[in-house]
Structures are given as structure tokens and as C-alpha cells.
Amino acid sequence: MTTRRQFIEKASLSTLAVTLPFASTFSSSVKKQEDKVLRVAIMGLGSYGTRVAEAMKDCKRAKLVGVISGTPSKIEAWKEKYGIPAKNCYNYENYHQIKDNPDIDAVYVITPNSLHKPHSIGVARAGKHVICEKPMALNAEEGREMIQACQEAGVHLLVGYRMHFEAKTLEVIRRQRAGDFGKTLFFQGLSGFMIGDPKQWRLNKALAGGGAMMDIGIYSINGARYMLGEEPIWVTAQEVKTDPVKFKQGVDETITFQMGFPSGAVASCLSTYSMNNLDKFFLNGTKGFAEMQPSTGYGPIQARTNQGPIEAEHITHQTTQMDEMAALILDGKQPMVPVDGEEGLRDLVIVDAIYESVHTGARISLI
Ligand code: NAD
């Protein structure tokens, strides 16, 4: 376990990362513990939890050692498949007892969106580091509560932004910061897919907190921020609904939105649950451009610039993510693009503004 003092030291490094979000690593001053492995329990053994568990088989710094699930048959299957000992298995009623388990360092919360806040706060109060899936919470207010709870508990709060560790994405970001594209004045983000089963939790406002924006549109919000390297100062948004039965009140089907940035750059984005083949980022500058398609799917990601294709080995995103998050928690390593609670909160502030703009028709200031 990280002591409170160690956490405060690390937290001050995180603060520096907020000021200099894309500074290169300065972890050399932090003592490395490369022989240490982050022992992780997964909460929510659904489709994405399973993907993370499979990816973690190839991790060097992170190890799946525990589960939290409401379904006993899943726990039995995971014990068998991943060699998880019975003493590291919990359900949603007793998982608070994880505080007495010295063999688990962190819990990865992979439950439906509305449960991220209560589950993350529960994990933090049990003294374990929190890794929480995106969207971090349903709105900015919830996000702030989670950050406060984790600070009070002296644990890390990380958000599952796997693209922040993806090689081609990081190379585009590096070239943008190096000025290779000149002054970047335009970003386009297209994020969407056709959603199936109308009964799933993603189409239930109480569990999802919204619709496509919470689930897939957030990739364009986050991508605009890391590709341009600045924070938006205003938002406008418009909603279109072709199927009000499937997409009930409060569950957005398609939203187009725009963001303005201090440099004068603008982002134009689409979030939808009604069209496939929408997984594309385009960044344009005065000296060049970058295009990524697919840009945020499970990969391989494809990226090219005005100079040609970007080549990098495809590694399963969640494998890299979990190894890098282990280094972040255990060594104090700083990622090129932050993945902490403040980073999750920035996206939620924008999500709130997008919904406000949809409802009011107004341009929403973010400053
Ligand atoms: P899923 O429905 O496949 O799994 C959700 C799990 O939560 C299930 O095992 C379910 O049993 C459990 N659960 C616990 N309490 C529940 C309740 N009250 N109602 C419904 N289910 C409950 O969903 P998923 O696709 O695994 O998504 C889970 C989270 O992971 C979501 O927040 C989603 O946004 C996120 N996700 C992230 C990525 C990514 O690439 N980062 C990809 C997919 C999903």
C-alpha cells in the first residue's frame, strides 16, 4: 500500500502533470520498483471486464488477482480460468472487506456508468487504488466527489483512457507538440456505431446517464483535447433523433458538437448510436495534417500524416494500459497524456456543457 505521505508526493507530481500535461517523463527522480507488480481485482465481469482480463495475461507489471461480481457462476469460471484464489473473490455486498486483504492493491471498476461513482468511492474507502472505466461518472459533480473521496483515502484515481498509451496516437501527439503540423486550427472527431439490443443498459438513462455521448462521443471530446493540446473555452451542440422509441428521453442518439479553443482552433465532432464506420480523427495545421482511422477502436489504429503513414507495432491496448498504470501507481511514472481523475473530470465538464447546449440552444462558456 502507498502511505499517505507517498501519495501526497505522487499527487504533487500529478499536479505538475496537470500544469504541463504533455511534459515528457520526469520519473527519474522517483525511485523505481520495477520488480513490483500491481495486483488488480476486476469489478464487473462483463464484456469489457473480460477483454481487460484477457489482455492482462500479457502484462509484465500488472496481474489479475481478484474479482468482484454479483454472479457466483462467473466467479467460479474466472477462478478456474485466471487462477484466482477464493480469498480474493467478493460480491457487491461484501467487497468493502477488501480493505482487510493485503494481496490486492487496486480495483478496476468496469460496471455500468451510473455505478462508477458509488463503486469507486467504495473501493477508495476500502483503501485500494481505483481504476475506473470511462465515462468516469455521469456528470462533473459526481466526478468531483470521486476525486475528493480518493484524495481523502490517499489512493490513486485513474480513468481507463487506453488511447493515452497507444503508440501511433502518442506519435501524432508528439509531432503536434513539436510543431510538425504548424499551428493546428482544426480537429474533426467522428465517433459512433449502430447499437443493437434496445434492452441493454447503454440505452437506459438511469444506468448509462445518457446515450451515445456518454459511451462513444466522449472519445471525440477527449481526442480533440489531446490532439490539439489545449482545453476548450466554449461548446455548442445540436441533437438529432430519428428513433424516439429506442432512444428515449435523456438517451441521446446523435449529437453534433463544436468546441472552441484559446488558440482560435475549433473542433467539429459527431457522436452517434445510429451509424457504423465512424471512428476517425483529423487534425489540420498550417504546415500539415494527421488522419487516424480507426482512431479509438481496439485496433490496430491507422495513422498517417502529410509525410506518410505512421508505423508502430500493434500491442493490445489494455495490456499496455495496465502495465503503464502499474508504473504510474508503483513508480510515480507520469504518462504523456494524463489519466487521473482531473483528466476524467475535464471530459465530464464538457459533456455537461454539451447537454446544456442541446437543451438551451446556447453557446456554453467553459471559462
Ligand atoms: P457489460 O454489460 O458487458 O458489463 C457490465 C458488467 O457490470 C456486467 O458483468 C454486469 O453483470 C455488471 N453489473 C453490476 N451491476 C450491474 C447493474 N446494476 N446493472 C447492470 N450490470 C451490472 O458492459 P461493458 O461493455 O463491459 O461496459 C462496462 C463499462 O466499461 C462501461 O462503463 C463502459 O463505458 C466501459 N467500456 C469501456 C471500453 C473501453 O474501451 N475503454 C469499452 C467497453 C466498455
Best residue among 47, 56, 111 to mutate for probing ligand 1's pocket (most ligand atoms within 8 Å of CB) is: 111
Average pLDDT by stretches of 10, the chain with 367 residues: 39 34 39 80 98 98 98 98 98 98 98 98 98 98 98 98 98 98 98 97 98 98 98 98 97 98 98 98 98 98 98 98 98 97 98 98 98
Best residue among 45, 48, 163 to mutate for probing ligand 1's pocket (most ligand atoms within 8 Å of CB) is: 48
Region of 299 please: left (phi>0), alpha (psi -120 to 50) or beta. left
The predicted structure's pLDDT at residue 270: 98
**Residues in contact with ligand 1 (CB, 6 Å cut-off):** 44-49, 70, 110-113, 115, 133-134, 160, 162, 201, 207, 215
**Residues 303 and 176: beta-carbon distance below 8 Å:** no
- H-type alpha helices, 47-163: 47-56, 72-82, 116-125, 140-153
- The catalytically annotated residue of 117, 134, 168, 333 is 134
**Residues 264 and 185: beta-carbon distance below 8 Å:** yes
Q: Which residues pair with 190 in a beta bridge?
A: 270, 280
Alpha carbon of 362 to ligand 1 centroid (Å): 33
- Gap between the Cα atoms of 133 and 161, Å rounded: 8
Q: Phi then psi for 260, rounded to 5 degrees?
A: -110, 145
**Residues 116 and 149: beta-carbon distance below 8 Å:** no
**Residues 281 and 176: beta-carbon distance below 8 Å:** no
The predicted structure's pLDDT at residue 34: 65
Q: Please state whether the predicted TM-score (pTM) of the whole model is above 0.85.
A: yes
- Gap between the Cα atoms of 359 and 238, Å rounded: 9
Q: Is 134 a catalytic residue?
A: yes
**Residues 260 and 217: beta-carbon distance below 8 Å:** no
- Gap between the Cα atoms of 235 and 362, Å rounded: 9
Task: Count CB atoms within 10 A of the CB of residue 42.
Answer: 26
The predicted structure's pLDDT at residue 339: 98
The predicted structure's pLDDT at residue 35: 78
Cell of 237: 451542440
